[in-house]
Structure 1
Amino acid sequence: MTRTVHSPKGIRLVAGAAVLGVAASMTALAAPQASATVTSIGILPSFTLGLHRYGTGCSYTVQVTVDDKTKPVFFYEEGQGPSGFAEAMPADNGTASVTWTPSSTKITYIYAFQPNATFQTRQPVTVGNGINLGSACIAL
């Protein structure tokens, strides 16, 4: 025996449930997929003297924090393109670190991103001609 709904209230109830189901399905399909994101970037302090904060030929540690520890982080200088100067996998604490040696005095930003990220993060830098003294750098 099949039961059918013939009353106006029953028809509205069934139609409302169908609309709600379709709306929920559409919302789930339209929701953006979660993507990996670099949430912060910084260059660890080092001993640099001179007019600029960083110098060519001297090395610095660039560290990022990410919200997805399963994807690598790519680092590159402005004008270098995404092929970059380094790639690193995040540690269990969600940070990734690489060594950066400025390639030019024309660099104004260091970038970091993860694959499928909605955006990339950048750190402003001022680079001068560097003289590497081993434990210190002079950036003219």
Structure 2
Amino acid sequence: MTRIAGRACPCGGGAYAECCEPVLDGVRPALTAEELMRSRYTAYALHQADHVFRTWHPRTRPDRPLVDPDVAWEGLRIVRVEAGGPDDDMGTVEFVARNRGPHGHGELHEVSRFARRAGRWFYLDADPS
């Protein structure tokens, strides 16, 4: 459980306590593919590898997700969302995430695919853009 009470959520979606905290802490599942993507970005920003692992589809999940403590995630911009709503089984979220690491500043531009399994959203895979 990570407390950043009264602070903005790293994903840019509002106050952390109302945005990604309930999903990261397991209080409730993500309701949409975009909400799961935002929570995963926040988990990377807060170095919470357990959430990244838990929300990765078992079919495509690595043995251990790479959450690099030397990388600081500095901003998220959602480019587009296709499907991924509460009644969908698949969804796509395109985003750009800014970061800073040992080699300077960078951006991750990705089109991520999500699948709903047993009523819960999971990250499936991605195409870098």
TM-score of the alignment, normalized to the shorter chain, above 0.5? no
Q: TM-score, normalised by structure 2?
A: 0.25
TM-score normalised according to structure 1 size: 0.23
Q: Which has the larger radius of gyration?
A: 1
